[in-house]
Amino acid sequence: MDFSLTTLGTASAKPVDNRFSSAHVFNIRGRLFLVDCGEGTQIQLNRFRISMLKIDNIMISHMHGDHVFGIFGLLSSMGLYGRTAPIYIYAPRDFASLLKFYLAHFHQGSQFEINHIVLKGNEPVQIFDSKSVEVYSFPLNHGIETYGFLFKEKMPMLNIHKYKIETYGLTLAEIGALKRGENVNRKDGTVLTAEEFTYLPYTPRTAAYCSDTAPFEKLADWIRGVDLLYHEATYLIEEKDVSWQRYHSTANDAAKLAAEADVKRLVLGHFSSRYKDLQLFLKEARNVFPNCELSQDGMVFDVPMKL
């Protein structure tokens, strides 16, 4: 079952020849979530063979251009391709005026509804819930209203050890109760415990997205233990003062957070155009957190199922 991150754009504010602006697709069990929508997002979706019509949910972290300039083109193309299913855009309050302008000038003839869900809260807030996945937003430290996102696979129903079904002659009602984690009390006094008769088919996976933000104390608790963390690394540590003044992180900051939060794997992105050798980011981060990778446009980071 899919659980992955595809990075469509890894640049920061200024355009560069070989990197597009911020845009990412999380594939959670076949459901696609687009996170941020920088300029050229629809081009990257086409380039990497990701159907824009399969995207029903778009998360916009904040209202800086390199994270939102691609939304007009993407929505317009969805209309041209004949989309009819509604789309849900989770974005800060200020997104409303941008959407109003788009609807007034560019949405005529399109057959799908656009819903803006306003992000808010000083702590993690659930913004999406389905049978298999839930998504939370949480505030970041970027000088303007900015949010990160946490994707969590839901706990699966317990499975029954098949050999137990025949051995104990389990009824459908007993199987259902055991799979719900309930013990079964039989009339003869026998107790069938869920612990003995069942097992967890897999351990739910988690991923977090943090861009853009300067370090702050609460963040480690909010993303603790995630299997995959995408975190901005706009600057190297030599420009830490500039980074924090602009409410950004260095590669060292991202690595320190990953270590403190005990995450399993760190992916760096959102690199400043001033740096030509991105391996410097990897070296800096791995000095603190070894299980770290650089994102590049089109890279896919899979989180394997944990049995």
DSSP string, 176-230: HHHHTT--EE-TTS-EE-HHHHEE-S-BPPEEEEE-S----TTHHHHTTT-SEEE
Return the closest-CA partner of residue 179 out of 166, 190, 195, 163.
195
Place of tokens 């706990």: 155
The helix/strand/coil state of 140 is coil
Give the catalytic positions in this structure: 66
Give residue 269's pLDDT: 97
Neighbours of 248 (CB within 10 A): 27
Dist CA 92 CA 66 (whole Å): 15
**Orientation angle between helical segments 95-105 and 71-80, nearest 10 degrees:** 40
**pLDDT tens, position by position, 1-40:** 799 999 999 999 887 888 999 999 999 999 999 999 999 9
Residue 51 C-beta-side C-alpha neighbours within 13 Å: 8
Neighbours of 192 (CB within 10 A): 18
Residue type, 239: E
Structure tokens at 50: 């990701």
Return the closest-CA partner of residue 182 out of 257, 25, 191.
191
The DSSP 8-state label assigned to residue 103 in this structure reads H
Dist CA 74 CA 44 (whole Å): 11
Q: What are phi and psi of 79, to 5 degrees?
A: -65, -45
Residues whose CB falls within 8 Å of the CB of residue 187, separated by 6 or more in sequence, listed in order: none
Residue type, 188: D
- Out of 11-15, 126-130, 196-200, give the one with best mean pLDDT: 126-130
Give the containing element (helix H, strand E) for 158: none
Dist CA 197 CA 167 (whole Å): 11
Place of tokens 């298999």: 132
Structure tokens at 40: 């050229």
What is the chain's mean pLDDT, rounded?
A: 95
Q: Is 26 in contact with 44 (CB distance < 8 Å)?
A: no
Structure tokens at 13: 């504010």
Dist CA 230 CA 249 (whole Å): 12
- Which whole number is the average pLDDT over 72-78? 97
Give the containing element (helix H, strand E) for 90: strand 87-91
Give residue 17's pLDDT: 85
The helix/strand/coil state of 33 is strand
**pLDDT tens, position by position, 113-122:** 999 999 999 9
Taken in order of first residue, the domains within the chain and their CATH numbers are: 3-150+203-302 (3.60.15.10), 159-198 (no CATH)
Q: What is the DSSP string of 86-147?
A: -EEEEE-TTHHHHHHHHHHHT-TT----EEEEEP--SS-EEEEE-SSEEEEEEE--SSSS-E
Above pLDDT 90, what percent of the chain?
91
**pLDDT tens, position by position, 238-264:** 999 999 999 999 999 999 999 999 999
